[in-house]
């Protein structure tokens, strides 16, 4: 697959967008689209119970690390 694009929404009114809490541990989720057709949802365990830390980790993932995460996943 070539041409992956991140498909995210940035909503300043909702600072916890792309975050969800699963039994006390924060996760980040987002969609990526390849070649304008193939879509896949990614869920990343942030390994923290702290919401402020989770927000920082989410911002790092969405700004820098998402392409590495996508390339390491199998279809």
User: With contact defined as beta carbons under 8 Å apart, do 32 and 18 qualify?
Assistant: no
Rounded to an integer, what is the distance from CA 32 to the centroid of its chain? 9
Check whether 74 has a pLDDT greater than 60. Answer: no
pLDDT recorded at residue 73: 64
pLDDT recorded at residue 14: 83
Which residues constitute the domain of residue 42?
5-72
* Tens of pLDDT, residues 7-62: 666 666 788 888 999 999 999 998 888 877 788 888 999 999 999 999 999 989 88
Rounded to an integer, what is the distance from CA 4 to the centroid of its chain? 14
pLDDT recorded at residue 11: 64
- Our count of domains for the chain comes to 1
């Amino acid at each position: 697959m070539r041409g992956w694009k991140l498909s995210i929404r940035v909503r300043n009114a909702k600072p916890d967008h792309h975050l969800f809490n699963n039994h006390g541990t924060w996760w980040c989720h987002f969609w990526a689209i390849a070649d304008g057709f193939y879509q896949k949802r990614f869920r990343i365990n942030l390994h923290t119970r702290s919401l402020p830390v989770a927000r920082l980790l989410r911002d790092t993932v969405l700004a820098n690390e998402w392409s590495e995460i996508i390339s390491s996943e199998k279809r």
